[in-house]
Amino acid sequence: MTYDDYLAGEPVIVTAALTGGVHGKEANPNLPESPDEIGRAAAAAEAAGAAVVHVHAREPNGERSFATERFQAVDDAIREHADDVVIQHSTGGTAAPDDVRHQPLRTDPPPEMASLDMGPLNRYDHLTSENTRALVDSLLAEMRERGVKPELEVFNDGHLNEVHGLLERADVADPPYATLIFGGGTLTPPRPENLLHAIRNLPEGATFNTLGFGRHQLPFATLGILLGGHVRVGLEDNVYYRRGELAESNAQLVQRVVDVAETLGRPVATPDQAREILGL
Amino acid sequence: MTCPFLEYRSASGDRSFDVARAYCTAASAFVQPMRADICNDRYDLQHDRDCEIYREHADEATAGKAAGGAEEPTVDADEDA
């Protein structure tokens, strides 16, 4: 995927990361946590132009849950409220045991997509999300078994090596789909040239998604649109609309990036177009 | 054991929630959901090893216990399945 894809007017897939598992309503009261809130947020994001929703599950008190039952409740609510949006489950989870990390894949039906973290990520001062290669392989194996498309989450450039290695040792359905993530800490530094380098280092034929944390969300989404990639926005990654102003909703963040894409002349993919592009 | 600074509160200042949420009495703030895993020592997490806030206030926690302070949170959290 390149600038030529932008010039050719290839559709851009907008993913809305609705809730996440790190922060909650204590960070932004508009962040959805309950299944019903997430379902309604998914519908609003879809109406604004999102083709994919990336979801985590929560306990009633807002705390993280990896349980199949909680993901099932979220999916049921999304299907009740939204039209035809693609559901993508997170399999991420700092310190959660490996068997727990598999549980989001076991809903009925399984999600069309699921995230697959390609390696470690530091959290706070004393924690690391390990994401060992053995766990990556076992999650991918279950995704293949259940027909789930992996979204390869690349936290830094070293994880691009892991993507190449994964494709050499495992069978990943075409096209490989990698989310390139930019921000602080263990993430790739949020500099435009680093996005260009990451794109150059992707495997042949790979499709990419662009994710900037915090205030980098809008500029990196814009860069992703211009460079022929896809984009992810949402309250999981950024709770502000602009400096000092909390976002009103996921849909508001989706609408803004849809407006950018349309202003730049790139059409926004429908869920069916996203399925075709991603080979779902 | 859970963190001695953990409480579950439905309100604090101008913030209120329908369901009680993890509140750090050392930081005087509601905590992020992921930090609540540390507060509750879920999975392989331990508040005295993994939480920088606890480590900064460990002396106060020890003093509170010596003075008969509570070791358990006021309201138990739901355990992740």
Spatial separation of the C-alpha atoms in residues A132 and A97, rounded to whole Å: 11
Read off the tokens for A168.
């050499």
pLDDT digit string (tens) for B26-71?
Answer: 999 999 999 999 999 999 899 999 999 999 998 888 876 666 544 4
Interface contact A23, partner B, CB < 8 A? yes
Mean pLDDT per 10-residue section of chain A, whose length is 280 residues:
86 98 97 98 98 98 97 98 98 95 98 98 95 98 98 98 97 96 97 97 96 97 97 98 97 98 97 98
Spatial separation of the C-alpha atoms in residues A151 and A138, rounded to whole Å: 15
Spatial separation of the C-alpha atoms in residues A1 and A174, rounded to whole Å: 14
**Contacts of residue A149, Cβ cutoff 8 Å, sequence gap at least 6:** A112, A113, A114, A143, A173, A177, A278, A279, A280
Which residues from chain A sit within 8 angstroms of residue B10, using beta carbons?
A: none
Size of interface A-B (CB pairs under 8 A): 84
Q: Which of B17, B31, B52 sits opposite A126 (nearest CB)?
A: B52
Shortest Cα distance, chain B CAs vs residue A169, angstroms: 30
Cβ burial of B19 (10 Å; 0-12, 13-18, 19+) is: middle
DSSP element (H, E) containing A58: strand A57-58
**Contacts of residue A120, Cβ cutoff 8 Å, sequence gap at least 6:** A128, A129, A130, A131, A155, A186
Subunit contact A63:B30, Cβ cutoff 8 A = no
For chain A, how big is the Rg over CA atoms in Å? Answer: 17
Could you give the 3-state DSSP secondary structure of residue A127? strand
DSSP element (H, E) containing B32: none
This prediction's pTM: 0.93
Query: Taking a C-beta distance cutoff of 8 angstroms, is the pair A17, A54 a contact?
Result: yes
The number of CA neighbours under 13 Å toward the Cβ of A248 is 7
Query: Taking a C-beta distance cutoff of 8 angstroms, is the pair A162, A201 a contact?
Result: no
